[in-house]
């Protein structure tokens, strides 16, 4: 196995953090970036407890100055994991909240990728991993402000892969599409479905909808991130990764059935 320099965004918590430690354990040089300085300090403290070495610094992907920090790092692999969650009914949610989600999950992710791609294309080698979501494969009522960003990101990843293949510079593009994992990310979105400060078209159904969302999370969320971390490891180490990796497979199968039923 070739040891690689791997940069992961959004590595302060959840899937990004777990992937960073898993890749470091396999001998890769992992640059684990976090949204805030506080997260960076916490991650460095965890490195000490685990006895594992990660290069850690704060990188807010929405800030151009932060993105430019990557130009001299020359990673072999970029794992675009940083993202924000957003929720609410498209009939009434503040459009600025949708715009802010797209700014981070799509526009800033693409801008960061462009920074790193320049070096990869010049070296004629590299892999870009987009961590999208199964929420980007089927409509998710009341979670569409987030779900739409992942639809867009999955499309962007597939399109960029075709472009890099056409360029012929051995730059690989791949997608990771996780289902529901118990990292706190999904629960935070569900909690934001309804704004207590304003009335809603769905006020009469709000308690039932909240209960339904809680039951769905309880049923679907996996406690361990091992299955999706394994897919990230596979994608980063492959000479020619697949277009799409899904975890857990059972939720991927459910999405396929849902798409067939809605066709």
Contact of 67 with 42, CB cutoff 8 Å: no
Catalytic residue, candidates 3, 48, 150, 245: 150
Q: CA–CA separation, 119 vs 5, rounded Å?
A: 13
Residue-wise burial string across 201-238, b where 16 or more C-beta atoms lie within 10 A, e elsewhere: eeeeeeeebeeebeeeeeebbbeebebbbebbbebbbe
User: 109-123 and 144-167 are packed helices; what angle lies between their axes, rounded to 10 degrees?
Assistant: 20
Among this protein's residues, is 146 annotated catalytic?
yes
Residue of 3, 48, 58, 146 marked catalytic:
146
Given the structure tokens 């960061």, which residue do they identify?
Answer: 112
The question of whether 245 is a catalytic residue gets the answer no
Alpha-carbon distance of 174 to 170, in angstroms, equals 13
As annotated, the active-site residues are 146, 150
């Amino acid at each position: 196995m070739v040891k690689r320099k791997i940069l992961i965004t959004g590595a302060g918590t959840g899937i990004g953090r777990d992937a960073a430690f898993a890749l470091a354990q396999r001998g890769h040089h992992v640059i684990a970036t976090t949204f805030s300085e506080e997260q960076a300090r916490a991650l460095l403290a965890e490195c000490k407890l685990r006895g594992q070495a990660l290069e850690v610094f704060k990188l807010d992907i929405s800030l151009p100055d932060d993105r430019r920090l990557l130009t001299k790092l020359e990673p072999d692999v970029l794992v675009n994991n940083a993202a924000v969650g957003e929720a609410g009914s498209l009939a009434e949610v503040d459009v600025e909240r949708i715009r802010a989600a797209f700014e981070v999950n799509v526009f800033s992710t693409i801008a960061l990728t462009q920074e790193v791609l320049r070096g990869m294309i010049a070296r004629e080698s590299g892999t870009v991993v987009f961590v999208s979501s199964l929420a980007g494969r089927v409509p998710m009522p009341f979670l569409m402000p987030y779900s739409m960003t992942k639809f867009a990101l999955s499309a962007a990843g597939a399109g960029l892969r075709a472009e890099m293949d056409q360029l012929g510079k051995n730059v690989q593009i791949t997608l990771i599409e996780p289902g529901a994992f118990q990292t706190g990310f999904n629960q935070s979105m569900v909690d934001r479905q309804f704004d207590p400060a304003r009335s809603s078209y769905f006020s009469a159904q709000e308690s039932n909808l909240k209960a339904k969302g809680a039951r769905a999370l309880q049923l679907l969320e996996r406690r361990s991130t091992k299955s999706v971390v394994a897919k990230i490891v596979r994608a980063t180490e492959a000479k020619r990764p697949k277009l799409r990796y899904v975890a857990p497979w059972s939720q991927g199968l459910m999405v396929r059935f849902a798409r067939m039923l809605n066709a």
